[in-house]
Structure 1
């Protein structure tokens, strides 16, 4: 299996249609394959020459829903690489072999897709090309920067803490796929909310450390 994956040049309005069926059809076929495990490389190969938005959605949307433990560890790593390359304006997507070889059991992947596909189908009915100044190659770089920071937050071991950033990345991805600036705007609002939640959480953690560590420091005269 190749450790390289290619995509079309970055452009919200100029992204290609998905061959071999719609977005949900590709996911469904992966879940119904006869392989014991579904790897990241197999997912990338199934989508072929797709837009960055399609790949971001594949790896982000499952993390926005209640999923089996370990899902974010498998699907989160590709998000970091994809978002970073989107941020720097790469026209060709590359993922290292240690990511493409990561996999999950086919049964777990099928469970994942059964939860994700209905959401994708509902969302696609709401999307349409509009406000495309938010889907230009330059705008994609800012979107990539936001997705990169959100993907880093997604890795933090916080119960349900991966859901807000994953939802924001999913909104960005849908906006890129459908050239829908309204979805991109929703992504920015969700990203701001995710950053706000993290800032509040760190404030609570630091306050807790100060509360419990203060007496110990005074005890030792520090």
Structure 2
């Protein structure tokens, strides 16, 4: 599962059209794992001790958590968000970075306990994401690390369909 996702991301990064790339195109490259990748991408910089990063990215994490609370929106990127664009170079770099990340992490993950990782068991993901975003938002010295790690692990488990 993770190797297929990494290969799909790598192939998409090499085949992006010239010019700005809409976020909808990047979400299509992820298939159903775009929420997982977004969790990883938003949580990873929060682990760094850079002032202000957690405050800004926690807003995005909270919005993602609120979106995950709505069951009908689990599979599609909101149209307004999908119309936003990234420069081609940034999109290519992001897809290649995620492909390398998923290649490296695939040795540790595998699909297990699908009842805990399936679409009907995601009721916990939205509230957990909102709570962790609030913890990241709070100005606690080094307080971003554990919530960011928890969100990254949830994102990796979600992408791998790993219920542990």
TM-score, L = length of structure 2: 0.66
In structure 2, list runs of 5 or more residues that go unmatched: none
* Greater RCO structure (CA 8 Å; 6+ sep): 2
Question: 1:43 aligned to 2:21?
Answer: no
The CA deviation string for residues 79-115 of structure 1, in whole angstroms up to 9 with x for no partner, is 5454324324335535141x21222222122333333
Question: 1:57 aligned to 2:8?
Answer: no
Question: 1:25 aligned to 2:7?
Answer: yes
SS of 1:45's equivalent in the other structure is helix
Corresponding residue of 1:130: 112
Contact map agreement 1:31 1:106 (CA 8 A) in 2: no
In structure 1, list runs of 5 or more residues that go unmatched: 1-16, 183-222
SS of 1:46's equivalent in the other structure is helix
TM-score, L = length of structure 1: 0.52
Q: CA deviation at 1:165?
A: 4.3
**Equivalences for 1:97-176 in 2 at 5 Å?**
97=80, 99-137=81-119, 139-151=121-133, 165-176=147-158
After superposition, the CA RMSD in angstroms is 3.7
The CA deviation string for residues 127-166 of structure 1, in whole angstroms up to 9 with x for no partner, is 1233445335554111221123334666789999877545
Contact map agreement 1:60 1:167 (CA 8 A) in 2: no
Name whichever structure is richer in helix by fraction. Answer: 2
* Structure ID, larger Rg: 1
Contact map agreement 2:9 2:30 (CA 8 A) in 1: no
Corresponding residue of 1:93: 76
How many residues align? The count is: 153
Q: 1:92 to 1:114 in 2, by over 3 A?
A: closer
